[in-house]
């Protein structure tokens, strides 16, 4: 998959010429944010880059959803390993997460 706005870098996808992960754009898009609101959250990106990233996602949705699910599974496994190695830190993280409003979790 190649695109004017998106590039594969190592094992992840980024907005071409930036360090912004495509994942970040996709998650915001999935939460219903407009391209303009997404661009406000990532001032390093132009509005056309945001629209291009969304179009790329929509054109490759099945593959990218699989990629995101894989990353989420890997993150969950890493968190479990960290919790095993550092139980006090994991307990603190859980307490902090419980104290956050739902919109920030």
Output the pTM of the full model.
0.71
Q: What's the Cα-to-Cα distance from 17 to each of 2, 6, 34, 60, 90, rounded to whole Å?
A: 14, 9, 22, 20, 36
Looking at residue 104, what DSSP letter applies? G
Instruction: Say how far apart CA 38 and CA 101 lie, in whole Å.
Output: 21
76 by Cβ neighbours in 10 Å (0-12 / 13-18 / 19+) ranks as exposed
Residues 18-73 have pLDDT tens digits of 999 999 999 999 999 999 999 999 999 999 999 999 999 999 999 999 988 987 77
């Amino acid at each position: 998959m190649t695109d004017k706005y998106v590039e594969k870098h190592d094992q992840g996808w980024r907005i071409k010429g930036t360090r912004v992960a495509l994942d970040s754009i996709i998650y915001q898009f999935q939460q219903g944010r407009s391209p303009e609101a997404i661009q406000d959250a990532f001032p390093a990106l132009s509005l056309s880059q945001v629209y291009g990233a969304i179009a790329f996602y929509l054109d490759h949705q099945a593959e990218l959803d699989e990629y995101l699910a894989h990353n989420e599974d890997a993150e969950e496994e890493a968190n479990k390993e960290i919790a095993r190695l550092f139980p006090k830190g994991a307990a603190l993280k859980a307490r902090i997460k419980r104290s956050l409003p739902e919109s920030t979790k």
